[in-house]
Structure 1
């Protein structure tokens, strides 16, 4: 009788942690892996973006002001959830029972999210929720501190990187294709500023876990990336 070795292996559930800089394609690879493995996919960046959107809606943060105390006092009112969209093939972000998937992907949110993500109380709340989601393994999670803080014992850790210029061009194309009115220089500045804030914040800075595999995809297409990562996944399984 023929046995599909890979199908048999995937019965063993592992945790896949993907960290890295903004616009390195973490979510794209994570979604593809989750679909191939029939795992749960969690975009932690969407969670921080949703909290940022909440702060913006309540005038706690803007381009020239930020009152973290007000946001911290309001965190119990921030309810986050993911709901799978069968048409799109992935889960969308909901903030207090409202679909905010489109709103959280704007350049306005991108400019402010790193400031919100640097708040220890915000990180504590979201890390706790993320760890609860992954208790049973069989999960692919991407973000900034997944392999170092959320799942330090993950069986597979990837650290994705690419040049700032390549990342800015990807982000620019994504926003233009969506119909947003943006310019490249603004996107590049945002990418560089987010790198600076994410890497230097006091609480859970963006760093490569000691046992993570660095993955530079500056000159790599999606198909090649996926095939290389799947090889690593099969090795762990």
Structure 2
């Protein structure tokens, strides 16, 4: 089964997906980390991230390894470096390029072909896995998302600066030519603003159980 989770930056997709993976035994796959990895690698090479052809050509040459949920570059685990302020500031631009998105999408499909997964991102349920058994769209206001990130204490920016960055990220994500953030018509919509991670997970787990029961019943009816 593929559980595809979409939503804007800072809505808690990663935390919720990790929790869901623990409750279901599904493999957790963070699509955003692949875009962040390309951004990190490009920044390390001091590339011009505004020029699409340069970034796309570079992405096609990167030899990443994906092991146990972590991303390795040239043998080094770079996962901890992927949420720096520098990467945060550039990843929306990098992920807007079609060639980069196609490269990442292919990696995601390869990884998902061998296991049950919970995968999250911006266009997972609309582009990457349009036939996913369960689609979920998580949402929250920019102010709530900024406060959550600020409270994590991982950024050197002020609350206002984080909020402004999130608004700009939303604008880019919703207006991309390729892979724009949009809610799938058949997605389960969850406004997380006033909910705990446990409460959000409970809603999604109930839906997974409903789909599983339905699939079992349909299989049994075919064999009667």
Q: With structure 1 as the length reference, what TM-score do the two structures score? A: 0.85
Query: Is 29-38 or 114-123 further displaced after alignment?
Result: 29-38
Residue 19 of structure 1: aligned partner: 6
**Aligned positions, number:** 212
Q: Which structure 2 residue ranges, 5 or more long, are not aligned?
A: 213-224
SS of alignment partner, residue 42 of structure 1: strand
Residue 46 of structure 2: aligned partner: 59
- 1:80, distance to aligned residue in structure 2 (A): 2.6
Q: Which structure 1 residue ranges, 5 or more long, are not aligned?
A: 1-13, 85-90
Asked whether 1:204 is paired with 2:179, we answer yes
Asked whether 1:119 is paired with 2:94, we answer no
Match of 1:148 among 119, 126, 136: 126
Q: CA RMSD in A?
A: 1.4
Match of 1:162 among 134, 140, 165: 140
Match of 2:199 among 203, 207, 224: 224
Match of 2:165 among 180, 186, 190: 190
- 1:42, distance to aligned residue in structure 2 (A): 0.6
Asked whether 1:172 is paired with 2:150, we answer yes
1:154 and 1:182, CA in 2 relative to 1: closer, same or farther beyond 3 A? same
* Maintained 8 Å contact 2:60/2:103: no
Partners of 2:70 and 2:159 lie apart in 1 by 27
Asked whether 1:43 is paired with 2:30, we answer yes
Asked whether 1:129 is paired with 2:107, we answer yes
Asked whether 1:139 is paired with 2:139, we answer no
Partners of 1:165 and 1:150 lie apart in 2 by 29
The structure 1 segments of at least 4 consecutive aligned residues displaced by more than 4 Å after TM superposition are none
1:187-213 deviation digits (Å, cap 9, x = unpaired): 101110110000001012110111111
- 1:137, distance to aligned residue in structure 2 (A): 4.5
